[in-house]
Amino acid sequence: MEENNKYWLKWYLLVAGFLILQIIIYYFITHQFEN
């Protein structure tokens, strides 16, 4: 059961981490190109 939880935790962290990474990238794109 604990093994199972760890498996899913990794997935959730991957999805949340990718969201944060995208926000950071978009923030830099905005600063790079806007005005």
Interface positions with other proteins (CB under 8 A) = 8, 11-12, 14-16, 18-19, 22-23, 26-27, 29-30, 32-35
Minimum CB–partner distance for residue 20 and other proteins (Å): 10
CA 17 vs CA 9, 14, 24, 34, 35: distances in Å: 12, 5, 11, 25, 29
Q: Looking at beta carbons only, is 2 or 11 nearer to other proteins? A: 11
Q: Which of 13, 9, 31 is nearest to 21 (CA)?
A: 13
Minimum CB–partner distance for residue 21 and other proteins (Å): 10
